[in-house]
Amino acid sequence: MLPEESAVDDAGVLHLGGVPVTELAEQYGTPLYVYDEAGLRRQIRRFIDGLSARWPASEVLFASKSFPAVGMYRIAAEEGLSVDIAGGGELQLALAAGVSPEKLHFHGNAKTDAELRMAIEAGVDTIIVDNTDELDRLERLLTQPQKLLLRVIPGVEAKTHASQATGGSDSKFGLPMDQAIAAIERMRAHPLLEFEGVHLHIGSQILDVAQFGEAVSKISTAGEFDVYDVGGGLGVKYTYDEVAPSVDEYLDTIVAAAREHLPAGARIMIEPGRAIVARAGVTLYRVTTVKRTGRTFVAVDGGLADQMDAALTGQRFEALLGNRALDPWTETAQLVGRQCESGDLLVDRAPLPEARVGDLAVVATTGAYGYTLANNYNGALKPAIVFVRDGEARLVARRETYEELLALHAPALER
């Protein structure tokens, strides 16, 4: 579950990308998001090379909501990924990182006029239409042809947390098949709406790859098109007891279903996000308090404000002490955060050595949805991001400051 480029030295210090976590914490502070850059790039290549070998007319898009950082957008562009964006902010970050507009697909179930104008003016390659109100907006705003995909509801009830399921019949995303067919006819009749195909996404953190095959079979009922975007959602191993499918198992399932149900000349797209970035990232925390009151509570200097996924979806993680990684486990502790919620729980039953104030807690597999969901609960500052590779660390996003936090309140402070 740790990044691919992980090792422990004889002193028991965890190294990430060849850099000791003790040095990272000393130089950049904690909480700190740390990413194994080489591991990120290798995982991207597994998706791109694996899909193209199985289905040459294909495209892999990075679901950037999982980690919308300029440094990550640049890696995506360098490795040949296209990019899935949702909202004006992600569009601006991707463009600032140098991602070509021709590599951008613009998503969202509630796009505003301003965001659609921004996307059109930037020249994004494809807009994924979610609903008929959006078609009204596009018909009003477009002055030249625009490539479109239509998001459809495949009716697949994903085996995942309820908040992560997006392909069921009651999803807020996309149109059911009967309404989708009418919308497709409408797009085909309009001279500026270049309808290319359909899009679906059944959910996130899905560990049963058969569900992706089911989704492909269901999307085929919408008709024969040039493009079928089957979304993302491949799950990863977060805990010792979880079993996650490999990239190869996932791709084999999708392509087998495509060969059975889709036109031979169609273009297939997939949108991995979590499956690219989750394992590559960890979060470093400093232990600030240890309480043994019947239960053992190990409290750290972060929590809900930088790992919201733990509360939002009940995501479970594993942890270790990065400065004492070789010490034997002697207790089971609750690794808790500093925010004012009893639900601020990073790891419920963490097997650890006897923790001490000042230890470095490393929470593994936090590369997805940590930074993107980071918030200012209790006035917390959003952590910095560091990429490590070949024994070197580079800062890709600095830590938020109190001055920046106060600047948002300047109108009230100036009164």
Tokens describing residue 118: 């921004």
CA distance 405 to 415: 17
* Cα–Cα nearest to 269, from 49, 53, 55: 55
| Residue 340 annotated among the catalytic residues of the structure | yes
Tokens describing residue 267: 């273009």
341 labelled binding-site residue: yes
367 labelled binding-site residue: no
231 labelled binding-site residue: no
Does residue 246 sit in helix, strand or coil? coil
328 labelled binding-site residue: no
CA distance 223 to 202: 19
346 Cβ contact list (under 8 Å, min separation 6): 300, 303, 307, 310, 317, 319, 335, 336, 337, 363
369 labelled binding-site residue: yes
273 labelled binding-site residue: yes
φ/ψ (deg, to 5) at 312 = -70, -40
Query: Which of 96, 182, 340, 406 is labelled catalytic?
Result: 340
233 labelled binding-site residue: yes
Residue spans of alpha helices (H) in 209-273: 210-219, 247-261
CB 364, CB 320: distance < 8 Å: yes
CA distance 20 to 395: 15
Residue spans of alpha helices (H) in 241-294: 247-261, 274-277
CA distance 104 to 187: 21
Please tell me the chain's helix, strand, coil percentages from 3-state DSSP, rounded to the nearest 5: 30, 25, 40
Amino acid 203 reads: G
Angle in degrees, CA 48, 203, 198, rounded to 5: 65
**Per the annotation, where are the binding residues for substrate?**
274, 341, 369
Q: Which residues are annotated as a binding site?
A: 233, 271-274, 341, 369
Catalytic positions are 340
Which residues are annotated binding-site positions for pyridoxal 5'-phosphate? 233, 271-274, 369
